[in-house]
Amino acid sequence: MQSFPMFIKTTGRTIVVVGAGEQAAQKCRLLLKSDADILLLGDQPDDELSAMIKQGRIRHLAGPVTRASFAEATIGFIATGSPAADVAIHAIAKDAGLLVNVVDRPELCDLTTPSIVDRDPVVVAIGTEGNAPVLGRLIKTQIEQMLDPNLGRFAAAAGRLRGMVARYVPQSQRRAFWREVFAGPIWQTFKRGSEREALQSLKQRITGDFDENRAAQVTVVDTAAGAADLISLRAVERLQEADEIFYETPADEAVLELARRDAERHLMGGAGHDVPWPAKICVAFIKRAAKPGRNVVWIKNCAEPGTLGLLDAFESDAEIQFELLMAPQTAATGVKASGQA
């Protein structure tokens, strides 16, 4: 990546838009979705911008653009519609220390505006680093169709109950609790319009009983396919749920890109990390990590001789829920294992 995707907090932050026509209006429309203080620099703003100023939605400062014009701001959008003016004002804004976006001039941009799917507070941003804006919009359309219009309201309602969750739900169980909330019947009830019923069920679930001593979950994700894009959706789900992930060679790092970022990661390799430890040692380490309530994933090439037999150590352990997610060619050999999916 040449651009790092992140969200910038806008509360209490001034963002400057330079321009007076349609390009500037487009930027102001976008920024008004946030709570930023928006300052428009430009003479004779068009009707839409004038209405925003009159309504108090944005501030306006007319006159020449100087370094002092940017004194309050940290981010600037330059949208004058004049290539020469854009270049000149870009230099002034950079001298003032701003991060700058110049409309239709990616070579002058410190930051770019993505295509946005807005289910506030759930926001999805799609960027192409300026290479294919039309593709970004096509992806946005697909995601718009995927995400229910009520998703943001449900997320906001759940967020207001986080303090209650902190009081009643053990920390070790919270991630599983929220998975259940957002993927289970409570969300389905909310989605079909029974919002009060859904929130009442959510509150009852929060104050319900939780089994802090539930069995450990150990999942083996088979990488015999040799490519991260060939593992199953279920394997991706387990990687996203993992508390700890064990892997054996740097080649497995492509699969790790699909995993939860804050999961603990353990490279079980020998000299130079290119030679995996003996499988028996790996099994022992993973069993030690498989404490009650923990989700542990082992990224493993199950086509290696003897591997499937060693996995019996997990299957025979009454304190472990074991799952083997095999790659297509491993499964095609006819070898079966309990828990295989």
Report pLDDT for 278. Answer: 83
Give how far Cα 113 sits from Cα of 6, 109, 334, Å: 11, 10, 50
| Residue 272 in domain | yes
| Of 77, 19, 83, 81, residue with least CA distance to 45 | 19
For tokens 């979705």, the residue is: 33
Q: Is residue 246 part of a domain?
A: yes
Amino acid 330: pLDDT: 56
Do 224 and 327 belong together in one domain?
yes
- Residue 144 resides in a domain: no
For residues 198 and 227, membership in a common domain is answered with no
What is the span of the domain harbouring residue 76?
14-113
pLDDT at 151: 97
pLDDT score of 244 = 94
- The torsion angles phi and psi of 191, rounded to 5 degrees, stand at -65, -35
> Does 236 share its domain with 306?
yes
Number of independent structural domains in the chain: 3
User: Are residues 165 and 222 both part of a single domain?
Assistant: no
Q: Which two tokens stand for residue 279?
A: 């499988």
The answer to whether residue 270 is domain-embedded is yes
Q: Residue 40 corresponds to which amino acid?
A: L
Residue 315 domain flag: yes
Q: Which residue has the tokens 């593992």?
A: 231
Considering the domain architecture, whether residues 222 and 325 belong to the same structural domain is answered as yes
The answer to the question of residue 339 being in a domain is no
Residues of the chain below pLDDT 50: 334-341
Structure confidence at residue 270 (pLDDT)? 61
> Domain of 256: which CATH number?
3.40.1010.10
**Domain identity same for 184 and 85:** no
> Is 338 contained in some domain?
no
Instruction: Name the residue with tokens 């083997």.
Output: 324
Q: What angle do CA 117, 174, 187 make, to 5 degrees?
A: 45
For residues 152 and 320, what is the distance between their CA atoms, to the nearest angstrom? Answer: 36
Residue 211: Cβ-neighbour burial (10 angstroms; 0-12, 13-18, 19+): exposed
- Tell me the CA end-to-end span of the chain in Å, nearest whole number: 34
Q: Is residue 301 part of a domain?
A: yes
Instruction: Write down the pLDDT at residue 326.
Output: 86
Q: Which DSSP helix (H) or strand (E) runs through 139?
A: helix 133-146
- pLDDT, residue 331, reads 55
The pLDDT score that the predictor gives to residue 273 is 56
What pLDDT, on a 0 to 100 scale, did the predictor assign at position 133?
87
pLDDT for res 212: 57
Alpha-carbon distance 297 to 176, whole Å? 16
Q: Say yes or no: 175 and 202 in one domain.
A: yes
Q: Are residues 94 and 185 in the same domain?
A: no
